[in-house]
Amino acid sequence: MMHEALRALANGEFILLYDFDDRERETDLTILADAVTPAHVRQMRKDAGGLICTAVHPEAAKRLGLPFAREILGSGNLVERDGDIPYDPKSHSSFSLWVNHRETFTGITDNDRSLTIRAVAEQVKRSLNGGGTNFGASFRTPGHVPLLRAADRLLDERCGQTELSIALAELAGVTPAVTVCEMLDDETGCALSKEDAKAYARKHGLVFIEGKDVVEKWSSR
Ligand code: 5RP
Ligand code: ZN
Ligand code: CA
């Protein structure tokens, strides 16, 4: 299954990425940021319904000047504290900045979001290839595309879909910028159950994998 997941990711197809039974218990519709079209944004907002975020590799985040949001928000009492995340109290959220490409109009349309997401992937790729980076020349914040910054040591440090998806990109040998969106259940108001997420994968011919499979592959690489 891991082989199929890596191949689908590299081909620019959606994969379904569940985290862990003892974490969020959420499945993210997951796709290489490089490949995101307006139709993919539409499928994420209509079929998944969560937040459409783009995870980036920590080295690219450093080179592009993308901090963790909590680091720039300072120490006000509104800011996330240690232990705030109920499903992962030793961890922090991976939110970085929320951006729009400067050529977008409102930033929220399927066309605008896919433009921003693909341009972020391009910057990630260029930064990791040693190219010049001036992120602010092409993007503005605040915007409608939340960026997630993966932990420095990836799965050796944190095991959210942020790190799982970036580890998968590394394993697949593709640009480590990956767009994720939580699958929600329209009837219950909860996260879509693992069984229903698997049924969606079967119906759409997509690969479903779990965090434990990714961690296993990561540890034996
Ligand atoms: C952003 C989130 C999602 O859970 C997303 O999967 C990334 O977060 P994490 O790495 O914590 O799983 O909170 O909408
Ligand atoms: Zn989360
Ligand atoms: Ca998640």
CA-CA-CA-CA torsion for 220, 33, 132, 155, nearest 10 degrees? Answer: -30
56, 162, 181, 210, best to mutate for ligand 1 pocket (most atoms within 8 Å of CB): 162
Residue 166's CATH number: 3.90.870.10
30: domain range?
2-214
Residue 46 burial (CB < 10 Å; 0-12/13-18/19+)? Answer: exposed
Number of domains making up the chain: 1
Does residue 219 lie within any of the structural domains?
Answer: no
Residue by residue, pLDDT tens for the chain (221 residues) are 899 999 999 999 999 999 999 999 999 999 999 999 999 999 999 999 999 999 999 999 999 999 999 999 988 899 999 999 999 998 999 999 999 999 999 999 999 999 999 999 999 999 999 988 899 999 999 999 999 999 999 999 999 999 999 999 999 999 999 999 999 999 999 999 999 999 999 999 999 999 999 999 999 99
Centre a 10 Å sphere on the Cβ of residue 113 and count the other Cβ atoms it contains: 27
Does residue 220 lie within any of the structural domains?
Answer: no
- 24 within ligand 1 shell (Cβ under 6 A): yes
Residues with CB under 5 A from ligand 3 (ion): 24, 161
Ligand 1, closest atom to CA 162?
10
